Amino acid sequence: MAARHAKRSPVPAHAGIGLRFPHQRLIAEQHPAAAWFEVHTENYFGGGTRLNYLERIREHYALSLHGTALSLGSAEGLDAAHLKRVAECAARLEPGLISEHLSFSRVDGIYYADLLPLPLTEEALNLVCRNVDAMQDALKRQVLVENPSTYLQFRHSTIPEWEFLSAVAARTGCGILCDVNNIYVSACNHRWDALAYLDGLPPDAVGEIHLAGHAKCVIGGVSVLIDNHGSRVAEPVWDLFDAALRRFGPKPALIEWDTDIPEFSVLQDEAARAERRLRAERALDRISGGGHADAA
Amino acid sequence: MPTLLETERAFAAALRSADCAAAGELIAPGLACADEAIAIYRNTFVSGAVKALKLSYPAVERLTGVEFFESAANAFVAISPPSSGCLDDYGAEFARFLAAYEPLRDLPYIADVARLDWAVNLALHSEDAKALAAGEFAGAAAIAPERLVLIPHPSLTVLGLDYPADAIWRAVLAQDDEALGALALRGGPFFVLVWRNADGVQVGRVSQSGFAFLSAVCAGRTFGESFDAAPSPDLPALLAECLAAGRFTGFREI
């Protein structure tokens, strides 16, 4: 359990939990067991009860700020007002990690409230790097960029997503938030090799791993996986998590659950599952003589 | 090869119009056909915006019913999509939209309830600010009224309404059908204040002169101008009430 005054404390290489409004009060008042919490940045732009609860929680746990709306892939560049609010939120909460997505959601001043897929081209790569630079300059720190779940690919994409993400990290110095559920979802939808995806990422750049549940939908007679964060982590995603830990070493790992949010104890249970796998990886690493720097 | 901007614009157009022809040509053959794959994104976008409206307009949703609300919200999203990446900001124009919404022609009080829902939403999420204590206000006495500007709490909204939306709002959110049935809709105008203090979001009534005074204060007018907007012997009592309720955060001399 984190000590008081956890501000600025790094997010540990243990299993954290996505903090959602229905659990705020319980956590602020009872300090249940959890290694760290992650919140959606945009939910804390104003003041009021939500922020007051989070500041109380912040005193006891390490925190990660996960943005969903900065739109790093926008051809029109970043929304300066939005970036300023992210910076203000970060200054107030002093999170151990800050992350965003490899996607776009803003076009001609309209916010499309989803993580929309980018054409993976040289032009898009240059643009995303420029926007990540702008974000890191404004926040004066490294950020992590997460791979999205996608349901389509553009004809004119020329760069595999893992190469694109690795290139963004290499050119901007940002880290990678490796969402293994998103890799699994996209790999199933596009017939990619999920393990080859993991092999394509630079281990040192990976700063966090996400775990979540997905849904299987039949659309036009074919089965499509949808990233809905509405259930327990699926078994093949746990397997992919093990493979990611083998390759990257222990990293902060997060349980995300956003629709049909269950009792907090269910999230603790999922986090405990992730923690056992992190522990197993540390043990394996010791037996096999190391090779992974344990960040914990 | 289409540029990034062209790709994003074609995709955005497909999300807004259900016309996927231009975007469809850019999409590689895959598991689902292009229209169906785009529909997954459109559904997330529209349902996310509608959900944001539900959170900001809870009394309107209960009054109109879920199905009616979703239909009105979908129509609103189509003509007035979000511009802010923070969905708490989305929907300021929804009350105005509902006031002109043909299916609500015979229920004109709904738009007033919507204005109140929105004011409560603003008060819930506005910046934190320390209220001005009555003792701290004493220093303002030395400033001439035409140079004194009161600073309202960022959560404060002043509403002049044709219908008793505050009473409707309370009854609806308390699911008190008896109180709702007993309400008299006439007798307006009604002057309602919404703000947040240490006890949470508050909804209260104010006199017509109090409404005029606080509207002027919220518009940034001086104390002198605000008083002239509503000359009333009740002003000292109103000021004391506002200070006790935490509706101001400070004052300045201009």
Q: Which residues of B touch A73 (CB under 8 A)?
A: 4, 8
Interface test with A, best of B1, B5, B6, B8 (most A CBs within 10 A): B8
- Cβ separation of A224 and B126 shorter than 8 Å? no
- Cβ separation of B1 and A156 shorter than 8 Å? yes
User: How many angstroms separate the CA of residue A104 from the nearest CA in chain B?
Assistant: 8
Query: Considering CB atoms only, which of B7, B27, B196 is closest to A48?
Result: B196
Strand partners, A178: A209
Task: Identify the CA nearest to A133 among candidates A81, A183, A170.
Answer: A170
Q: Would you state the structure tokens that stand for residue A117, as one six-digit string? A: 């897929």
H/E segment holding residue A66: strand A62-66
b (16+ CB within 10 A) / e for A27-63: bbeeeeebbbbbbbbbbbbbbbebbebbeebbebbbb
Q: Which residues of A touch B24 (CB under 8 A)?
A: none
Q: Which residues of A touch B1 (CB under 8 A)?
A: 121, 156
* Nearest 10 degrees: Cα torsion B24, B29, B32, B33: 40
Q: Which CATH number fits domain A15-287: 1.10.3720.10, 3.20.20.150, 2.70.70.10, 3.40.50.2300?
A: 3.20.20.150
User: How many angstroms separate the CA of residue B178 from the nearest CA in chain A?
Assistant: 30
Q: Would you state the structure tokens that stand for residue B6, as one six-digit string? A: 């062209």
- Per the prediction, chain B carries an average pLDDT of 94
All structural domains of chain A with their residue ranges:
15-287
Q: Would you state the structure tokens that stand for residue A133, as one six-digit string? A: 């630079």
Task: Identify the CA nearest to A282 among candidates A239, A236, A246.
Answer: A246
Q: Is B37 on the interface with A (CB under 8 A)?
A: yes
Q: Is A114 on the interface with B (CB under 8 A)?
A: yes
Which residue reads 């993580």 in tokens? A115
pLDDT tens per residue across span B183-193: 888 888 999 99
Query: Considering CB atoms only, which of A105, A118, A220 is closest to B33?
Result: A220
Q: Is A15 left (phi over 0), alpha (psi -120 to 50) or beta?
A: beta
- Cβ separation of A107 and B12 shorter than 8 Å? yes
Model confidence, pTM: 0.94
pLDDT tens per residue across span A161-210: 999 999 999 999 999 999 999 999 999 999 999 999 999 999 999 999 99
Please count the CA atoms within 13 angstroms of the CA of A89 that sit on its side-chain side: 27
Query: Considering CB atoms only, which of B4, B38, B85 is closest to A79?
Result: B85
ipTM score of complex:
0.93
DSSP string of A241-295, one letter each residue:
HHHHHHHH-S--EEEE--SS---HHHHHHHHHHHHHHHHHHHHHHHHTT--S---
- Give yes or no for a contact between A54 and A24, defined as CB atoms under 8 angstroms apart: yes
pLDDT tens per residue across span B117-162: 999 999 999 999 999 998 899 888 899 999 999 999 999 999 999 9
Q: How many helical (H) and strand (E) elements, i.e. helices and strands, does chain B have? A: 13, 5
Cα–Cα distance between B130 and A189 in angstroms, integer? 52
Q: Is A224 on the interface with B (CB under 8 A)?
A: yes
- Is residue A4 very low, low, confident or very high in pLDDT (cuts 50, 70, 90)? very low
Percent of chain B having pLDDT more than 70?
100
